[in-house]
Amino acid sequence: MAKGIWIFAEQREGQVKKVAFELLSEGRKIADQLGEELAAVLVGKDVAGLVEALGEYGADKVYLVEADALENYTTDGYTKVVADLVKQYEPSALLLGCTVTGRDLAAGLAQRLETGLMTDCTSMELADGQLVFTRPVYAGKAFVKASCPDARPAMATIRPNTFAPVAGAKTPEVVKVTPDTGDIRQVVKDIVRQISTRPELTEADIIVSGGRGMKAPENFKALEELSDVLGAAVGASRAAVDAGWISHSFQVGQTGKTVSPVLYIACGISGAIQHLAGMSSAKCIVAINKDEEANIFKVADYGIVGDIFEVVPVLTEELKKIMA
């Protein structure tokens, strides 16, 4: 009988992603209700030093999968080794963060394991012994509850910043796995890094985003100044990205990144349905737009009708005083 709630502990360059700790904290509750163990799957090269951190957030067991070929994420390699592990131990559920890596890996795993997959979920609960996931539909206009009663393992990707990470110190049992990497075909030749002191977009608690109303790439400097005061990440709408004002890596929305920050400040963003799909689950939304009929105001908790080039500098200066 399948047992165990598994979390894919995504890591990058020797650092566990925050979403892994969030999933462990919530997975701990589910595992306790089911009377099953909570396990983390840690894949990479020379990542044994991360095991302790996973135990600090409640993992009973860590499956440590290390190999030279797994130093960098590849769809081919990670899908194979994680799928082999799942087939061997048969957990009842496998949860991944809804990140670029998590979404890519989850799709391949679901296909290879021939199981169901719930994507972009914002909550999970037990109902009659089954995991039930809540996910947005129609670009966040409605939410549905869904489950795969006969699927083993039940799989889902969960939005970052959905759950609060809660420490639950344990000394996890470590199961060292020697993976079969002989037929891995994909190889990472080079990684282009973008250096920034700001938090990663999908994990940021605060995001300052700009849209078509920014009018020019140099105007994003005002948003960068505001974000630095708040310790925030900078985001953008598709319109700003398509105009070439900012890189696609900053895009929030249906064809960009899905975010769930505590605070989302939308500057000069009209509120197209595709953009709302990527940020409507933010805890608090502040919209700044000179068009009082802009769709963004329909989802905003607070709205400022005004010229962003007048409002943002004043807001930045006032926040500097408050933060000081």
Domain identity same for 35 and 124: yes
Residue 187 lies in a domain: no
With vertex at residue 10, the alpha carbon angle to CA 108 and CA 60, rounded to the nearest 5 degrees, is 105
Residue 11 lies in a domain: yes
* The predicted structure's pLDDT at residue 3: 82
Q: Is 286 helix (H, G, I), strand (E, B) or coil?
A: strand
> In total, how many domains does the chain have?
2
Q: pTM of the entire structure?
A: 0.85
Domain identity same for 226 and 138: no
CATH number for the domain spanning 227: value is 3.40.50.1220
Are residues 264 and 207 in contact, defined by beta-carbon separation less than 8 angstroms?
A: yes
Residue type, 75: T
Write out the residue range of the structural domain in which residue 255 sits.
201-323
* The predicted structure's pLDDT at residue 1: 38
Which DSSP string corresponds to 199-267?
PPGGG-SEEEEE-GGG-SGGGHHHHHHHHHHHT-EEEE-HHHHHTTSS-GGGBBSTTSB----SEEEEE
* The predicted structure's pLDDT at residue 188: 87
Q: How far apart are CA 171 and CA 183, in angstroms?
A: 34
Domain identity same for 151 and 45: yes
- Residue 44 contacts by C-beta under 8 Å, 6 or more apart in sequence? 11, 65, 66, 70, 71
Q: Which residues of the chain have pLDDT under 70?
A: 1-2
Residue 66 lies in a domain: yes
Domain identity same for 107 and 218: no
Residue 182 lies in a domain: no
Domain identity same for 172 and 222: no
Domain identity same for 283 and 164: no
CATH number for the domain spanning 73: value is 3.40.50.620
Q: Name which of 242, 247, 239 is nearest 266 in CA terms.
A: 239
Residue 99 lies in a domain: yes
- pLDDT tens for residues 228-255? 999 999 999 999 999 999 999 999 998 8
* The predicted structure's pLDDT at residue 252: 96
Domain identity same for 139 and 275: no
- pLDDT tens for residues 242-301? 999 999 999 999 889 989 999 999 999 999 999 998 998 899 999 999 999 999 999 999
Half-sphere exposure of 48 (CA within 13 A, CB side): 8
